[in-house]
A and B are shown apart, each in its own frame.
Chain A
Amino acid sequence: MNVSITINGTVYERDIEPRMLLVHFIREELGLTGTNIGCDTSQCGACTIHMDGRSLKSCTCLAVQADGREITTIEGLADGDNLHPMQEAFWDNHGLQCGYCTPGMIMASTAFLKDNPHPTEEEIRHALEGNFCRCTGYQNIVKSIKAASEKMGG
């Protein structure tokens, strides 16, 4: 089936099998490997991207469902060499250890801040229920998101 999907501002047209998952389209068709596959079972959130501005686990969506929609992946967040404030906050606050969950954490938290620009620590933790860090580095992840919210929203 022919699909046309906008990813990080570029329109990609491909003829794909309907069973192709969006995460495979992103990683294998387009080579955008910043989006990680962690669990394959819709739990861990490593594959989180934005579709039409809302966070989505891209292992839980068929690429054909994304036809005509706008996707942002971790590669699309920075503005050239200038990191997104959330990326910077993860850097500054040691918000990652092995880094595997980080793209998903950053995509989940940037989508969350659009709904709630001034979250409490508890709200941040609730917002991360769909993202696992197996290094259990949650303290600094929460700290990073708090720092980014202060920087972005004032």
Chain B
Amino acid sequence: MSMRPANFDYQRPTSLSEAIQLLANNDEAKALAGGHSLIPAMNQRLSTPEQLVDIGRLDELKGISTNNGTLSIGALSTHAQIAASSDVRTHCAALATATGLVGDPQVRNWGTLGGNLAHADPASDPPTVVLAAGGTLHLQGPNGTRSVSADNFFIDLFTTDLQPGELITRIEIPSLQGKKNAYVKLAHPASRYAIVGVCVVLEMNGNECVSARVAVGGATPKATRSPSAEERLTGSSLQVAAVDAAAEALVNDIAGDVMGDLFAPEDYRRAMAGVYLKRAVQAAMA
């Protein structure tokens, strides 16, 4: 006897507004997109929603495009589609990298960016990049539409600013073309989840770094920026001493928040966060 989800009512609305209505009418309903976070949780009965609202076929939530230098990614875009998108490679290479490192090919084929960000698993890759890249999440709910910056979207472990009945419709990322950016990850060797993942976005003027955004995930309860590391990199020429100082600053910024487990204790993750910041800078400048 193998695992099965508990019973639930299944709805497959044909429009976004119908989906939002269904979700707004039932506190115990959950949205089903690719299902690659939700169904494993349901199989283990960690999640037992009363109703599933299958949004997986809503064309309104699909497609990747660029408008006036802004990358727009429909919430239902799969990791595989994003990793293979030439628009994403051009305008946010770090996101193409990160989505290409999520789970395994089967997961990337069906798991979606919107579902991933809404789930806000601390060990996931895309939130770290969307945060470092200065992304904006467009949401739609029973009270209409609103947008939230990634800085304000991720609140805690599996916790976001999404309100009851709200869905992510698309994710916008300002083009990073011309800026150096990279995501690097220390993956758990079996699960491929991030033990530590670091994304850097560096704006260079000649040899000088004139602005920097740094985010870390995996080690922390949520994707987290490091203002001190950003300060150390900004105004520097990314010489070894400056990058070392930024790594130390990153470790200090997150020190109190780092989570550990039997496989990768806190101390190890802290140390690796610094190492992977240095690798991220190297990868961005390569």
Interface residues of A, Cβ cutoff 8 Å to B: 1, 17-21, 24, 37, 40-43, 45, 48, 51, 54-57, 59-62, 64-65, 108, 111-112, 127, 129-131
Contact = CB atoms under 8 A, between A and B. Distances in A.
A57 B36 CA distance: 10
A37 B56 CA distance: 25
Given A62-B39, A130-B106, A130-B107, A41 B44 contact: yes
Nearest to B36: A60
A59 B43 contact: yes
B106 A56 contact: yes
Contact of B80 (A18, A43, A54, A62): A54
Classify chain B: how many residues form its interface, as a range: 20 to 34
Contacts of A108: 105-106
A51 B104 CA distance: 16
Given A18-B7, A42-B39, A54-B80, 14 more contacts: A1-B10, A18-B10, A19-B4, A19-B6, A41-B3, A42-B40, A42-B43, A51-B110, A55-B106, A59-B3, A60-B39, A61-B39, A65-B56, A129-B192
B54 A64 contact: yes
Contacts of B8: 18-19
B48 to A, nearest CB: 10
A37 B4 CA distance: 12
A131 B44 CA distance: 20
A113 to B, nearest CB: 12
Contact of B3 (A17, A20, A40, A61): A40
A66 B110 CA distance: 12
A42 B7 contact: no
Contact of A130 (B2, B10, B103): B103
B235 interface: no
A136 B9 CA distance: 41
- Ranked nearest first, the 5 interchain pairs of A and B with the lowest CB-CB distance are A130-B104, A18-B10, A129-B104, A40-B3, A54-B109
Contacts of B12: 64
A51 B80 CA distance: 14
Contacts of A21: 4-5, 39, 43
